[in-house]
Amino acid sequence: MQEGKPLQSKQINRELLLTILNSPKWFFTTVSVLGIIVMVAMGAAGYMINQGFGVTGLNRPVMWGFFITNFVFWIGISHAGVMLSAILRLSKAEWRRPATRAAEILTVFSLMTAMTMPLIHTGRPWRTVYWIYTLPFVPYDYARGIWPNVRTPLVWDPSAVYTYLTSSILFVVVALIPDFAVLRDRTTGMSHRIYGLLAMGWQGNARQWKLQIIAGVLLSALILPVFVSVHSIVSWDFGMAVSVKSWHSTVFAPYFVVGAVHSGVSAVAFVLILLRYVYGWQNYIRHEHIDALARLLVVVATGWFYFLVMEILFGFYGREADEIAVRDYQFMVSPWNIWMMIFVGVTYFLPVAIWLSRSARRNLWIMSLACISVNIGMWLERFLIIVPGLARKQLLTFDWYTYTPSAVEWIIVGGTFAMVTMLMLVIARVVPLIPLYDIKEGEILRTEIKIGRVTVPAVFRED
């Protein structure tokens, strides 16, 4: 259904290129503040690398803490973009139009941010060149010709993440070509030359449009299996670890994938609400779009909750002593049990209760609250999988210890949120975050049909 008013091409160009052709007053101040936070975080990472892991709260047996939690969190956020874009393109959902570009770009930046976390976590980032799967012929140890061990999930992980990152960047760039042409036609000087180069001489003839439409569908179909593999493989970082009993769960791969979609789609909904508010895109990001995302989220959240219950149920049902000990720790020992209750409440019960109400789904403040709530919960979820699992009852563990993150870890993790926000703002100055041609196509296909005594808005759809 189409709720908005008809829009002309000139108006679409003017309103959606506003972020590029005219900088809002707050832009440089906001980006500068975020940049300072990112630099402080980089300074903290540099300090940690210089001083060693002693400045973090990581210690035996909890050697994975905030950094790996944050890595899984950002990988999860990245799953919104391409998944949302791909599924909605393949199903030709009309409400995809304003959401796809921002979602895809959020994917790229959250993946890039995610990959900084394990790099920092190694303590010696320069030793991780072999992770860059797109340079596969770089041996691990140059002198002795030792190659990465493909039998470990810690090598599968970067291969999947870099495949996803490369694919997502290419997906975004190809879909941007027609919009680069619009920018080429509306800029002068150096900007005109750069956009002209990026547009590659795009004219918008029938052949180019046909290929562009097929590209969207074909690339969606190719990226979807990669998207599923990425978080499955991230879950195997845990699921295939020999020593940590509570991570040995066959349900981890789908549980992680659905969880990633849950947090990612919530993040996209929140970004869309922000874009609508900040840039005044009420004509493009309408209540119907946020409403549709919320309805989708009810299904995703319930699917995720099902896997959560299964994971816990299988843990108890097996009655293995190590597993029960971890569950005891999660459910009975303070503060972990309090965090568990908060996590389940803010990830499922609170947001789903909100999304069940139509008026709440169409209230952008309440929707923002629900989306933030989900992401706080999903961050906690990863933390509650990693830390209690490592802290108690491991095979060959001679040391029982809990984990308290240090200031350095807080700063670095906080810096990643500033980094993604800053990158999103900066990219909004360079490319349109809502695809112009997609919106224009929606306007071309918009029509009205008369049914009985009412005239309803409708959309023509090609097979």
Partner 1 sequence: MAKKPILGLFETADNAADAGDALKSAGVAPTDFDFLTDAPYPEGAFGEREENHRLYIFPFVGALIGLTVGIMLTSMTQMAYPLVQGGKPILSMPPMAVVTYESTMLTAIVFTIIGIIFESRLPAFKEGLYDTRITEGYIGVLVNVDEEQLTSTQTLLTQAGAIDVVRKDGGSGA
- Binding positions for partner 1, rule: CB under 8 A: 8-10, 13, 133-134, 136-137, 139, 145-152, 155-156, 159-160, 163, 166-167, 170-171, 174, 177-178, 181-182, 185-186, 196, 200-215, 218-219, 222-223, 225-226, 229, 233, 242, 436-437, 440-441, 443-445, 460, 462
Q: Report the nearest approach of partner 1 to the CB of residue 42 (Å).
A: 29
Contacts for 349-355 with beta carbons within 8 Å, 24 or more apart? 351/266, 351/297, 351/301, 352/298, 352/301, 352/302, 354/294, 355/294, 355/295, 355/297, 355/298, 355/301
CA 183 – CA 191 distance, rounded (Å):
9
Residue number, 36 or 200, with CB nearest to partner 1: 200
Rg of the chain (C-alpha set):
23
Residue number, 211 or 407, with CB nearest to partner 1: 211
Q: Report the nearest approach of partner 1 to the CB of residue 121 (Å).
A: 22
Residue number, 33 or 170, with CB nearest to partner 1: 170
Q: Report the nearest approach of partner 1 to the CB of residue 161 (Å).
A: 9
Residue number, 66 or 164, with CB nearest to partner 1: 164
Residue number, 50 or 149, with CB nearest to partner 1: 149
Q: Which two tokens stand for residue 366?
A: 């309440």
Q: Report the nearest approach of partner 1 to the CB of residue 258 (Å).
A: 20
Q: Report the nearest approach of partner 1 to the CB of residue 237 (Å).
A: 12
Q: Shortest CA distance to 70 belongs to which of 458, 448, 437, 413?
A: 413
Residue number, 151 or 319, with CB nearest to partner 1: 151
Q: Report the nearest approach of partner 1 to the CB of residue 204 (Å).
A: 5
Q: Report the nearest approach of partner 1 to the CB of residue 256 (Å).
A: 15
Angle between helices 66-90 and 100-122 (to 10 degrees): 160
CA 323 – CA 26 distance, rounded (Å):
52
Residues comprising the chain, all counted: 463
Q: Report the nearest approach of partner 1 to the CB of residue 120 (Å).
A: 23
Residue number, 199 or 374, with CB nearest to partner 1: 199
Query: Which helix H or strand E contains 454, and what residues bound it?
Result: strand 454-459
Question: Which are the contacts of 165, defined by CB distance < 8 A and separation ≥ 6?
Answer: 108, 111, 112, 115
CA 360 – CA 371 distance, rounded (Å):
12
Q: Shortest CA distance to 384 belongs to which of 59, 45, 62, 57?
A: 62
CA 184 – CA 418 distance, rounded (Å):
31
Q: Which two tokens stand for residue 297?
A: 């989220």
Residue number, 202 or 403, with CB nearest to partner 1: 202
